[in-house]
Amino acid sequence: MTISQLFNVANLFVLPFWALMILLPNWKITRQIMSSYLPFLLLAGAYVYLFVNSITPENAQDFSNIQLADVARLFADEKVAATGWIHFLVMDLFVGRWIYWEGQKTGTWTIHSLALCLFAGPLGLLSHILTDWITKTFFPKFQQNETATVAEQEVSS
């Protein structure tokens, strides 16, 4: 598989997980799928493969004392850029999964934060933190008790 193909497969691979969390957050199957670490293991495996194959004696020295100009030059290499992109995919999905589970536990609305996290990970995280704070501060009656939420999930299973 070429670097370009791996890049394309990884991009497509994450989409069903995002779709489930955003479109069907309360579906039993979404909860089952999102409770697994398997997607992260597969993506992390692709990352490790690309990382190992992107390190050369020339760029290893750049990584040891990284400067912005070095990052720009390194990312001009397709292997390094693909490695960085898969890093974003893994971490954004992991943060999205955390946002999803926090929403499931507390009843905090997460659709907007998940959509932001899909496209701009840190903005989604910030959005969720602010949404959670606003909900707890101004709308506490909309917050679910974590114990009650877990009990409801078990009953609906």
User: pLDDT tens digit string along 68-92?
Assistant: 998 898 899 999 999 999 999 999 9
Tell me the C-alpha to C-alpha distance, in Å, between residue 30 and each of 16, 37, 38.
Answer: 10, 13, 14
pLDDT of residue 146: 54
Among 95, 117, 98, residue whose Cα is nearest residue 106: 98
CB 61, CB 47: distance < 8 Å: no
Query: From the CB of residue 150, how many other CB atoms can be counted at a distance below 10 Å?
Result: 13
Q: What is the pLDDT of residue 140?
A: 86
Q: What is the pTM of this model?
A: 0.86
Provide the pLDDT for residue 70. 87
Which pLDDT score is estimated for 151? 45
Name every residue whose Cβ is closer than 8 Å to that of residue 54 and which is 6 or more positions away in sequence: 77, 79, 80, 82, 83
Collect the ranges in the chain with pLDDT lower than 70.
Answer: 145-157
Note the pLDDT of residue 147: 46
Rounded to 10°, the helix 3-23/111-119 angle is 170
H-run or E-run covering 17: helix 3-23
Integer Cα distance of 100 and 157 in angstroms: 18
User: Rounded CA gap, 16 and 30, in Å?
Assistant: 10
Please report, as a single letter, which amino acid is at residue 35: S
Show me where the domains of the chain are located: 3-156
Residue type, 156: S
Give the chain's count of helices (H) and strands (E): 9, 0
